[in-house]
Amino acid sequence: MSTRNSPRILLHEVGPRDGLQVEKAVVPIEKKEAWLRDLMASGLDIIQVGSFVHPEKVPQMADTDELFRRLTAGKVSSAILSGLALNEKGLERGLACGVEMFCMGASASETHSRKNTGMGTEESTKRIISAAKTAAAAGKKVQVSVQSAFGCGFEGPISEERVLNMVRAYLEAGLRNISLADTAGHANPAQVERLFGAVLKMDKDIECACHFHNTYGLGMANMFAAMRAGVVSFETSFAGLGGCPFTKVAAGNVATEDFAHALQRERLRVDVNLDRLIAVARDAAAHFGRDLQGFVYKTGAIGKVASG
């Protein structure tokens, strides 16, 4: 496995949003802020602070606006602070509280789309494109995604042509930072290389991101398959927390500290402070009072003695 020809590797931490959204007990804002500040100081490139959803649907995200206001006030970290917005109202809230990068997406699964947004895929895609163009016009970084791109817990296999048609619609709208998300965790490495390979052939200026859930234990393998295909941005969650509350089987993400550790074993992204990432993961496990899905936070990095 060779990754040395990758032009760059961007690390996008989504734990504060995707990691926490399925947790039933709301994490106090002071604890979230402490985790976020440690993540910002670790050398990660992008950190997803939260999502702009109705607080009754996802109570864990009710403090997203306030977190952005706290973290952007006097900000010195180079980490880009991202937020998930699934509609115009979410975009409006994000613009008001200082979001630096908007992540917006529509699902290739009709069933998942309706459960997640109350809209079908076609309507959702059109609205996301409109909102993304508004965000870009406001000078914000924008990433658009195809959710359930590799399969759906409700519908099973998803047509690759359906995914490519959604990517095509994004490209036609001038949106070239595009993520494929494995919301249900159904992806396999061969499928990942094939689908991202097809996407990357569509436009020479496209910048691809990936988001894999570890539902069936293939998350890390899929990350490296995406890297081989030419993906540059990788979304992970501290301690492996996470899962979409609107999919059939919710499961965690690849753990940020596990992926960073794997990269550093190949002398990649050695600028990232792995000890800080491990500390955040350990604190999360202590807070929730249970073992979480990550590995390295339990064992410590190779060459270092684990503590705690």
Contact 35, 288 (CB under 8 A): no
Are the C-beta atoms of 266 and 224 separated by less than 8 Å? no
Task: Specify the DSSP class assigned to residue 242.
Answer: -
User: Is 244 tagged catalytic?
Assistant: yes
Query: Which residue, among 90, 97, 42, 27, has the nearest Cα to 65 in the 3D structure?
Result: 97
Q: Length of the chain, please?
A: 308
Say if CB 38 and CB 4 are below 8 A apart.
Answer: no
Half-sphere exposure of 196 (CA within 13 A, CB side): 31
CA of residue 189 relative to chain centroid, distance: 18
Annotated catalytic residue, options 97, 152, 210, 244: 244
- Residue 47 DSSP label: E
8-state DSSP, 300: -
Q: Return the H-helix or E-strand segment holding 152.
A: none
Half-sphere exposure of 230 (CA within 13 A, CB side): 16
Question: In which element (H, E) is residue 283 found?
Answer: helix 274-288
Tell me how far apart the alpha carbons of residues 221 and 189 are, in angstroms, rounded to a whole number.
Answer: 6
What is the widest separation between alpha-carbon atoms in the chain? Answer: 52
- Distance, in Å, from the CA atom of 32 to the CA atom of 3, rounded to the nearest integer, reads 33
In the block, tokens 């606006």 appear at: 65
> For the chain, how far is it from start to end, CA to CA, in angstroms?
33
Active site residues: 244
